[in-house]
Amino acid sequence: MKKVVVYGSGCKNCTITAEKLQAFAQANGIEIEVSKETSMMAIMQAGIMSTPGIAIDGKVVHTGSVPNDAQVEAILA
């Protein structure tokens, strides 16, 4: 199971990002555990300069925008 963290202030784009990741994983039989991190300290410690940011198993893989469908697929591959 992959541990996915969506970093952001809790804004609409962060929520959409988490929902897209969950929907793709569910549709493709990929087991993930999604959590949201809204602490500015944690966001900065992760090196996220622009949100939403996504980390998979502790490694930042995307920042700055809601990922499109192809990016979601690549992120969760």
For the chain, the domains span: 2-76
Query: Beta strand pairing status for 32-37 and 2-7?
Result: parallel
Residue 45 has phi, psi (to 5 degrees) of -65, -30
- For the stretch 4-57, pLDDT in tens is 999 999 899 999 999 999 999 999 999 999 999 999 999 999 999 999 999 999
CATH number given to 2-76: 3.40.30.10
**pLDDT for the residue 65:** 96
The secondary element (H helix, E strand) that includes residue 73 is helix 69-76
Residue 5 has phi, psi (to 5 degrees) of -120, 125
Q: How many CB atoms lie within 10 A of CB 28?
A: 11
Spatial separation of the C-alpha atoms in residues 12 and 28, rounded to whole Å? 24
